[in-house]
Structure 1
Amino acid sequence: MRGRILPREELSGLPKTVHGGQAWKLEDVEDYSHNLNPFGPPSDLAEIIASAVDGVGHYPDDSCSELKETISKAFDVDVDCITVGAGSSDIIRNVPNTFFRKGDRVLLNRPSFAEYAQQCRIVGASIEWNDLLAENDFRIDSDEFIEKAQGAKAVYICNPNNPTGRIEPREKLIPIVSACEETGTLVFLDETLLELVPGYVDNTMSGMVDRFSNLIVASSLTKSFAIPGIRIGFGFANPDLVAEMEKVRMTWNVGQIEQCVANVLIRDRLDYVDDAASVMAEESEVMNASLNEIDFPVGPVSDSFFYFCSVAPLGMDGGEFKRRMLRKDIMVRDCSSFGERFADYVRFSVKDRERNCRFIAAADSVING
């Protein structure tokens, strides 16, 4: 009898994570389940990619030196404070692989992005949940969070939070990071979605990583430029943390084409993202008012560019609402994968006026017949 090759015990019973953005598999379906820039990539993206093709016969620059210089100038962060990855998911994976040991306690908000817990569990870390409550508008209770963080190896904060869309202001986050620094607790702050919200400069913590010894800020081009098929992410941290993360980063993790595209987009196209953020903020208010008019339980205007809503008042759960909207060629995110508590929640994004009107009409038909 042949011996059976067994995986590490940490993988036993560990399910694959579930994500949105699956409407590309379906014809003529408008995808509201993802939270990408609704205006798509810049119109000259194909030309930018074509300009990089000549370089694919060589290994890419493993240090991403030119790209780091570009990021440094754009975000006003020292080069030594930057690490680059194949999407922010690469950074999310590298953090526990660099800093966590089996049994380390990690504090995560719930609901939030599923990959945090997934990657922590893979290395054997122990998850403690900080439940975000509807009665507190799914916002972090700072005092409670700081108390729970004592003795933890790390805490994770997504800002704006996915799936709730809530933004925690920088003046609220600074005391949390400071309190964690005093107890030797790492703070992983995911700002992947923040650039698509007006006021990025006033809310980002990326420029403060040299002030704290325990802060890692993750960002990405995926959402802001609507290029999930081109994997570019980056992290900001003090040089000591970056040096350790570089030890576990996969060699040549960012290809030649990706580096070229990222250089151009960050150097010359950030205004494109700012313009999209401004339009979506305006359209969010219009969409919110229209949803209220058809008695959809949308709640207040979102902090960001997507909504997280319970459809229980409509007499259905998230899965049923998703199925009914799909019959209207609209895909929303059923949020049951974020936990049983959210089985009646859905997430959907804000797009331009024309497409949002289509969404409203479909929702009206589902609700009011």
Structure 2
Amino acid sequence: MNKFEHGGNIYAARDNGEAWLDFSANVNPLGLSSAVYQSVSLGIKDVVHYPDPKAAELKKAIEACYNVPSYELVLGNGASELFYLFLQTVRPRNVLLPVPSFSEYERAALAARAKVNCFQMDPDDNFRIDWDSFMGALAVADCIILGNPNNPTGSLITRNELVHLLDEMRGGHQWLVVDESFLDFLPYDSRYTVRDLVEEYPNLFVIQSLTKFYALPGLRLGFGVACPMLAKKLNAGKDVWNVNLLAQKAGVAALNDKEYQQHSRKFIAEERQRFFERINGRKGIRAYPPSVNFMLLDVRGTGLTSSEFTQRLREKGILVRDCANYLGLDGESYVRVAIRQSAENDRLIDALEEL
């Protein structure tokens, strides 16, 4: 398995020609909002023009939705681009990653020629960070990257915990990058987000994806929040047209669609609990409690490796994320599944019964 392989690869054709049922990509199961669909459809005629290099309308929509000033914003062609941009710009020598975590953190660090140090989180404690031990590991790093909630475990870090960490780092020469890409799925994020603290802590960079919650992975869209000095430096280091015209239009429409946002959060809150209760403990499967729109499964009790488990489901037309290439996960014991529409989730449960 490729070390940096991701989920969501639906492009390999099935033998019977039918479409895959994709649980491997963590995207809003409600799909595109009608407002986004209409905006992109109408915007096709405008692709003969360059996108707005200042992305003024998109920044205005982000300001209103996330309550951050435009001078703190750095727009990205998806959130992933911003990890590379940040690390290539600040050039840390040693990056500390609590693992398991999103593989692009490691890949972006290696691309910037940084040494990657791992801090192992305990599966028996639902992969929460042991803060006493973690504080002791800070000395080896000049940059720490945290997912909140973390991918693939779904574990959350509270705002208070992050503030305590930032206070411990104050006055030093360490960067903290917080990936809040899935926080939009929570009904309220005030207990977790730190995007409003970048001016108080200028060593903080917060990244937010807009592709996950608004189902736009094919368009690619995200943003970062940084203190004005860092934001200016990052903006100077990126392609001026890195966010294409259709992505800008889709972002504006998505951020203004309050009904879609409320419906999505309500649906995920209800369906993730129902899905968790149905799948946890089924035939040797341990499910870690989901916080947002995905769930980590320990499948070793089935007697199958994660690759065997994944292949059996592929034979039924179902894709799940084999987590064998995640740093910090035990061998071939884990898979990750997205939370989809209720009928689709039930289809996965039925497939597990047969398997």
TM-score normalized by the length of structure 1: 0.89
- Separation (CA, whole Å) in 2 of partners of 1:48 and 1:99: 36
- Separation (CA, whole Å) in 2 of partners of 1:36 and 1:270: 18
- Separation (CA, whole Å) in 2 of partners of 1:365 and 1:220: 36
Counterparts of residues 271-290 of structure 1 (less than 5 Å): 271-290=259-278
Q: Kindly indicate whether structure 1 or structure 2 has the higher relative contact order, using CA contacts under 8 Å at least 6 residues apart.
A: 2
Q: Percent identity?
A: 29
Counterparts of residues 254-265 of structure 1 (less than 5 Å): 254-265=243-254
| Alignment match of 1:126 (pick from 115, 119, 131) | 115
Counterparts of residues 219-258 of structure 1 (less than 5 Å): 219-258=208-247
TM-score normalized by the length of structure 2: 0.93
- Separation (CA, whole Å) in 2 of partners of 1:292 and 1:156: 30
Counterparts of residues 1-369 of structure 1 (less than 5 Å): 17-26=4-13, 27-100=18-91, 104-150=93-139, 152-266=141-255, 268-292=256-280, 294-339=282-327, 341-366=330-355
- Separation (CA, whole Å) in 1 of partners of 2:313 and 2:336: 12
- Post-superposition shift, 1:252? 1.0
- Post-superposition shift, 1:317? 1.0
- Post-superposition shift, 1:260? 1.5
Deviations 1:135-181 (A, max 9, x none): 22111112222221235221000111111111112122211122223
SS for the counterpart of 2:324 is: helix
Residues 166 and 304, structure 1, Cα contact 8 Å, conserved in 2: no
- Separation (CA, whole Å) in 1 of partners of 2:298 and 2:111: 31
Residues 28 and 293, structure 2, Cα contact 8 Å, conserved in 1: no
RMSD: 1.8
SS for the counterpart of 1:168 is: coil
Q: Which runs of 5+ in 2 are unaligned?
A: none
Residues 107 and 128, structure 1, Cα contact 8 Å, conserved in 2: yes
Deviations 1:15-40 (A, max 9, x none): 77210011353433211111100111
- Post-superposition shift, 1:270? 4.1
CA 1:85 to 1:298, structure 2 compared with 1: closer, same or farther past 3 Å? Answer: same
Q: Which runs of 5+ in 1 are unaligned?
A: 1-14
Deviations 1:217-237 (A, max 9, x none): 111211001111111110011
